[in-house]
Amino acid sequence: MTEQSIQQIETSFNLLAPRGEELVQRFYGLLFARNPQVRGMFPEDLTHQKKKLLASIVLVVQNIRTPEKLMQPLREMGARHAGYGVQNAHYAIVRDTLLEVMGEMAGPAWNTNLAHTWTEALNTVATIMQEGAAAATKRGPVSTAAGSR
C-alpha cells in the first residue's frame, strides 16, 4: 500500500473508531438481513463476536504500517474460520457489508477513492486468511493428547 492509502485508512478509521460498537452492530444486522444463510455460523449471542470483529479491525489498522506483524494472526484467524465452515465466497460478502456500513457511517468523508483503498486492504486481509484456511485444511484436524481437552 502507498503512504497515501495507509493515511486514508488510518484517518477514516479514526473517524469511525469512536462509534465502533455501532459499526459492528450495524454490520451484523445488515450481514444477517441480506445473507441469512450465514447466521448459523455465529453464536446466538453476538456480544463476544462483535468485540472480536472490532478488535480484528483495530489490529489491522494499528499494524498497517508493519504488515509482517499481521501475517501470523490473520493466518491463524483464517484457520479458525475454516473450522466454522467459512467458504472463500463468504469473504466478499463480509467485505462488501463492512464497506457499506463504513460508508454509511463515515458520511461525506467516504468517497470512491476511500472505498477503493479499504477494498484493497480488506482483500489483502481476506487473501491472508484464506491462506491460513487452506493450510489448516491440508493439515486436517489437530489431534489432542489422550485424556486432555
Question: What are the tens digits of pLDDT across the range 120-129?
Answer: 999 999 999 9
Domain tally, the chain: 1
Q: What is the DSSP string of 12-54?
A: HHHHHGGGHHHHHHHHHHHHHHH-GGGGGGS-S--HHHHHHHH
CA distance 127 to 132: 9
Count of C-beta atoms within a 10 Å radius of residue 108: 5
CA distance 4 to 28: 30
Query: Which residue is listed with cell 479491525?
Result: 57
If we measure between CA atoms, which residue out of 77, 84, 102 comes closest to residue 23? 102
Question: Does some domain include residue 101?
Answer: yes
Question: Does some domain include residue 144?
Answer: no
Q: Which residues span the domain enclosing 94?
A: 3-136
Q: Given this model, what pLDDT does residue 140 score? A: 59
Question: Does some domain include residue 141?
Answer: no
The DSSP secondary-structure symbol of 108 reads: G
**pLDDT < 50 stretches in the chain:** 142-149
Question: Does some domain include residue 142?
Answer: no
Question: Does some domain include residue 149?
Answer: no
pTM exceeding 0.75: yes
Question: Does some domain include residue 19?
Answer: yes
Question: Does some domain include residue 79?
Answer: yes
We report the CATH number of the domain holding residue 86 as: 1.10.490.10
Q: Given this model, what pLDDT does residue 143 score? A: 38
CA distance 137 to 91: 17
Question: Does some domain include residue 148?
Answer: no
